[in-house]
Amino acid sequence: MKLPVIKHLTQFIEENDEDYVVETIETLEALTEVSSLKDEELDVIGELISNMYGAIEVNKMIKEGTPRKKKL
């Protein structure tokens, strides 16, 4: 996971809605089923999915009142 990406996605969720990220995850997961994708491409998609799940978890921690510095 990449912390700068998670921070950016967390800000996006705060400004917009978590549903956008959830729907994007679902789309990327569906793309992983394409048989012609190379391993490198699957790795990139997997990294994106991982960062998005990380941002969702950070957002949940924010809602629960975890201090901003501790959540990241």
pLDDT digits (tens, 9 = 90+) for 17-63: 999 999 999 999 999 999 999 999 999 999 999 999 999 999 999 99
To the nearest 5 percent, what fractions of the chain are helix, strand and coil? Answer: 80, 0, 20
Supply the pLDDT for residue 72.
Answer: 59
pLDDT surpassing 80 at residue 1: no
d(CA 31, CA 68): 33
